[in-house]
Amino acid sequence: MTIDIQALETALVSGDRRGLAKALTLIESRRADHRLLAGKLLSALYPRTGRATRIGITGSPGVGKSTFIEAMGRFFLDQGHKLAVLAIDPSSPRSHGSILGDKTRMEELSVDPRCFIRPSPSGLSLGGVARRTRECVLLCEAAGYDTIIIETVGVGQSETLVCSMVDAFLFLQLPNAGDQLQGIKKGILELADLVVVTKADGAFEQAARRALVDHEMALHYMQPDPDRMPVRVMLCSALEKKGLREVYDTLLGNLQTLQADGRLQKRRQAQREEWFESELQGQLMDLLWQDRSFKKDIQKLKGKVAQGIMSPTEAAQQVIAGVDLKRG
């Protein structure tokens, strides 16, 4: 199948849903020639990117991420925004397959013509997800979506990763935080711009209020980051549609302030630098893998390292010594 980059660009920019979908597939492709084409497409679209609000959302499984995104997303749509949701679901390391159910969990959003939802398999490397997700955000922006939500799987390294590509990072928390809070608060709370306690309704309302106080206490002990707005903790009920306006106002209000005083631009600059560096690393690795002796040496030395005959450091040095970087 040949891919006509020009046609794809035209379709995407004109707001054609199918065009955007096909472009995202191109970005996600593992084929080397597709990567080159994807690079061309991105360059062509680059001037049209950067104008959307990028929001990352995370929280442990069961916290009601999709329910929250459904309610929050509808709120955004009602305020006149165009919304794209990118969701990342884990791939099986054994079969490489995956089950992607996000649309299901965002039923109302998924049928709304103003909204584009795309769940993507994580693939097998964290670096791969990062690279692709960043590029996917750009494509959605070029296609005219002014708000992009990135939903992550849940716990683990992916948080740091998503945080490095968004303007605001929302951390969702269940009302029954308690002890749980102790373990996770440090790592993730440091990344969060906004903590939202979900399911603050019915029987959970009291617990939610307690969780709010707990989080505020925890945040109190943390060093404030001068480059960001103070972290707020808020209550929300997707079920009763409560707290949505407050989250929306806080989120966009903060971003306005940060933009006015230049801190948002600074954050994005830093993110672009980081992206550049990791892209360099990634492309360098791609290049190395194309080198035949590199591949061979790795296969050879892997066994020695595994058996403990050679130290990993020494093995790596040997492989690098054999690479001729001038070609490529």
Partner 1 sequence: MSTSYRTGSKDLSAWENLARKDLGSDPLESLNRQTPEGVPIKALYTAKDLEGIESLDTVPGFAPYTRGPRATMYTVKPWTIRQYAGFSTAEESNQFYRQNLAAGQMGLSIAFDLATHRGYDSDHPRVTGDVGKAGVAIDSVEDMKVLFDQIPLEKMSVSMTMNGAVIPILAAYIVAGEEQGVKPEQLSGTIQNDVLKEYMVRNTYIYPPEPSMRIVGDIIDFTARRMPRFNSISISGYHMQEAGANSAIELAFTLGDGIEYVRAAIARGLKVDEFAPRLSFFFAIGMNFYMEVAKLRAARTLWYKLMQQFEPKDPRSSMLRTHCQTSGYSLTEQDPYNNIIRTTIEAMASVFGGTQSLHTNSFDEAVSLPSNFSARLARNTQLIIQEETDICHVVDPFGGSYFMESLTQNLMNEAERILREVEEAGGMVKAIQQGLPKLKIEEAAARKQARIDSGQDVIVGVNKYQTKEESKFEVRDVDNTKVREQQVARLQAIRQSRDAARVKTTLEALEAGARANGNLLELALDCMRARATVGEVSDAMRRVFGEHRAPIQSVSAVYAAEYKMKSDFDDARKLIAAFADQEGRQPRILIAKLGQDGHDRGAKVIATGFADLGFDVDIGPLFQTPEEAVKQAIENDVHVIGISSQAAAHKTLVPRLIELLKQEGSTDIAVVVGGIIPQQDYEFLFQSGAAAVFGPGTPVPTAAVETLEAIKRMRKG
Question: Which of 234, 150, 242, 236 is closest to 194 using CA atoms?
Answer: 234
Residue 219, phi then psi, degrees to nearest 5 = -65, -30
Show Cβ contacts of residue 38 under 8 Å, excluding neighbours closer than 6 positions.
26, 27, 29, 135
How would you write 259-294 as a 3-class SS string?
HHCCHHHHHHHHHHHHHHHHHHHHHHHHHHHHCHHH
Q: Return the residue of 49, 60, 98, 176 that touches partner 1, per CB under 8 A.
A: 98
Cα distances from 85 to residues 8, 66, 76, 103, 184, in angstroms, run 20, 11, 12, 10, 25
Min separation Cβ 38 and partner 1, Å: 10
The nearer residue to partner 1, 16 or 190, going by C-beta atoms, is 16
The whole-angstrom separation of Cα 126 and Cα 159 is 11
Q: Containing H/E element for 40? A: helix 32-45
Q: How far is the CB of 270 from partner 1 (least distance, A)?
A: 31
| Rounded least distance, CB 95 to partner 1, Å | 5
Is residue 100 a contact residue for partner 1 (CB under 8 A)? yes
Q: Is 36 in the site for partner 1 (CB under 8 A)?
A: no
Q: Of the two residues 31 and 295, which places its CB atom closer to partner 1 in the complex?
A: 31
Q: Is there binding between residue 96 and partner 1 (CB under 8 A)?
A: yes
Asked if 256 touches partner 1 (CB under 8 A), the answer is: no
Distance in Å, CB of 290 to partner 1, minimum: 16
Count of chain residues binding partner 1 (CB under 8 A): 34
Identity of the residue, 117 or 251, whose beta carbon is nearer to partner 1 in the bound complex? 117
CB nearer partner 1, residue 137 or residue 234:
137
Residue 283 C-beta: closest distance to partner 1, Å:
17
Which residue in 66, 12, 253, 276 sits closest to 165, CA to CA? 276
Dihedral-angle region of residue 125 (phi above 0 means left; psi in -120 to 50 means alpha; beta otherwise): beta
Point out which residues bind partner 1 (CB under 8 A). Answer: 1, 17-18, 20-22, 24-25, 28-31, 34, 91-92, 94-101, 103-105, 107, 110-111, 116-119, 121
